[in-house]
Chains A and B, each alone.
Chain A
Amino acid sequence: MNAGVPSPMDARIRISAALVILGLLIETATLFRNTPGSFLAFAFAGVACVVLGIAVFLISLVTVRNPPDR
């Protein structure tokens, strides 16, 4: 396979990683404020992004097929 051309799996990994990074950054921000609002941000924004990112990765593992090596 041509290493310079991004495969469909590469694109999915990028999306997945970006979502997880966003979720973890939200989680980090909420750790330093002890209010119900920060808990809500953690639960409904941070965790949601991380779970979505993980789901994209896991689903891609079984659904995306890279072109065969030449």
Chain B
Amino acid sequence: MVSPLALLVGLLAVTVLLLLVLVFKPSITRAPGGKILAFVALFLAPGLAVVAGGANHMENSKRTEFCLSCHVMGPYGKSLHVDDAEYIPAVHYQSNFVPRDEACYTCHTDYVMYGTLRSKFRGLRHIAVQYLGTIPDTIKLYTPYNNRECLHCHGGARKFLKAGAHRGEANFFADVTSGKRSCMESGCHDVVHNVRELKDAATWQGGQP
């Protein structure tokens, strides 16, 4: 089956060929058929190519390799491979709880309407800081991590509902769902990326293609 990328490249090639015809023989647009050609080559096809290209870039920007291509994200990538089950990102990545090729995006998008768009705008802000600003010494989330993102997968799951620590308090599930209590509060799932502690940490490289 032809991949979307191959289709897009084909569209780009055909559009460029049509445009070259117009560059070398613009007088053909005086005929009715030429006017249609000009409209297709100068408006419809490029418009479609830009929309398809944008969609392709949006999909690519969800990939783990995209996030980790910035140097500053290196330690965060390492935290996916650390050989310690206390690390939440490592457990999720290594146990395939999240798709490995979209590991960052899966946990750091917003699971609400237009959440993908919102996370892409945050990404643009990251890019602006990367290229135009000063990268802070300690990278922090813009807002506290929302339990909603954890519960998108874990909410209602048997393991989540049956876990002993989750069943010990009367209002536990209501508090976690409302955000009154964070999944990552001290004593619970509080070892996340912890990049400052990773310098000499052992890593697990299994499952690499």
Chain A residue with the shortest CB-CB distance to B59: A34
Instruction: Report A30-70 CB contacts with B as 1/0, cut-off 8 Å.
Output: 11001110111011001100110110011000000010000
| Given known A-B contacts A34-B69, A36-B69, A36-B130, A20 and B46 have beta carbons under 8 A apart | yes
Q: Which residues of A contact B65 (CB under 8 A)?
A: 34
Q: Are B27 and A58 in contact (CB under 8 A)?
A: no
Min C-beta distance of A10 to chain B, whole Å: 4
Which secondary structure dominates where chain A touches chain B? helix
Q: Are A50 and B46 in contact (CB under 8 A)?
A: yes
Q: Which residues of B contact A58 (CB under 8 A)?
A: 43
Bound together, the chains give a CA A43 to CA B30 distance in angstroms of 33
Bound together, the chains give a CA A35 to CA B63 distance in angstroms of 10
Bound together, the chains give a CA A20 to CA B5 distance in angstroms of 20
The answer to whether B153 has its CB under 8 Å from any CB of chain A is: no
Interface core residue of B8, B16, B70, B123 (most chain A CB under 10 Å): B16
Q: Which residues of A contact B41 (CB under 8 A)?
A: 17, 20
Residue of A24, A36, A40, A57 touching B49 (CB-CB under 8 A): A24
Min C-beta distance of B14 to chain A, whole Å: 10
The answer to whether B26 has its CB under 8 Å from any CB of chain A is: yes
Q: Which residues of A contact B127 (CB under 8 A)?
A: 36, 39-40
Bound together, the chains give a CA A47 to CA B54 distance in angstroms of 9
Residues of A within 8 A of B (CB): 1, 3, 6-7, 9-11, 13-14, 16-18, 20-21, 23-25, 27-28, 30-31, 34-36, 38-40, 42-43, 46-47, 50-51, 53-54, 57-58, 66
Residues of B within 8 A of A (CB): 5, 8-9, 12, 15-16, 19-20, 22-23, 26-27, 29-30, 38, 41-43, 46-47, 49-50, 53-54, 56-57, 60-61, 63, 65-66, 69-70, 123, 126-127, 130-131
